Homo-oligomer: A and B are copies of this chain.
């Protein structure tokens, strides 16, 4: 059911909190059963720094939680 919810996040901008407190924001373009994800137009926020990363492949085991950005 969480994976089905992930399906409903497709093609929308999401915010991901990672285990190292990094935040990635991007458009969800793909995912698999391990919550590996592909993000487009990604921005990374760590402490007080923002970087544009473009297309990102993220390993799912670094993820704490995901939310929609409205």
Q: State the A residues within 8 Å of B (CB).
A: 1-6, 9, 18-20, 22, 24, 29-32, 35-38, 42, 53-68, 70
Contacts and interface: CB of A to CB of B under 8 A. Distances in A.
Given A1-B32, A2-B32, A58 B62 contact: no
B68 A38 contact: no
A23 to B, nearest CB: 12
A59 B54 contact: no
22 contacts: A1-B29, A1-B30, A1-B32, A1-B38, A2-B30, A2-B36, A2-B37, A5-B30, A5-B38, A5-B55, A6-B57, A18-B64, A22-B64, A42-B67, A54-B70, A56-B65, A56-B67, A58-B64, A59-B60, A59-B61, A62-B64, A62-B65
